[in-house]
Amino acid sequence: MRGPVVASCLVGVVLASAACSGSSRGPEAFCQRLQTDKNVVVTGVVDAKTAKAAVSGYEKLDGVAPEAIRTEWHQLTLLVQAAADLDPTATTARAALVQQAYSAAPAAQTVADYARQTCGVDLGAATAPSAPAVTTGPTTTAAPTPPSG
């Protein structure tokens, strides 16, 4: 009789510890890391060192991203990885990265909204990029019309 009681106690302890030590993925873990690593997310990449730091930060957040934005965050992580690995002399690779960035715009907006609403973090610079303005020639600004009096 003592064997089954000890065995069931051990099973209970194992199950309880497994439940308590579950995945660290979720809103709390994500928001905490996002608040800690916000600068890595919103600061631009200017050289190999900052690119490496950005990839590392995005990968850490990718590991704790909650299910609500898991796919979108992973898409952004892949984009940052691709940007860090980009050969700036490869025109085709640059064009592909630009296309990847435009494709990731909805994911960036979803993540920015989630971060603001759930974590209280304004990613500002991490929102969706807009299409660049195209001009066809010199632009002029009309002079203001004097007030009629």
Tell me if 17 is assigned to some domain.
no
pLDDT 10s digits, 118-130:
999 998 854 444 4
Residue 134 belongs to some domain of the structure: no
132 assigned to some structural domain = no
Compute the CA torsion angle 53, 71, 34, 18 (nearest 10 deg): -110
Instruction: Determine, yes or no, domain membership for 73.
Output: yes
Query: pLDDT of 16-54, one tens digit each?
Result: 333 333 458 899 999 999 999 888 888 877 788 888 899
Number of structural domains found in the chain: 1
Q: Which domain holds residue 117?
A: 23-126
Q: Looking at 17-116, which runs of residues are DSSP E strands?
A: none
Whether residue 45 lies inside any domain: the answer is: yes
96-140 pLDDT, tens per residue? Answer: 999 999 999 999 999 999 999 999 999 885 444 444 333 334 444
Residue 39 located in a structural domain:
yes
In this structure, the chain runs to a length of 149
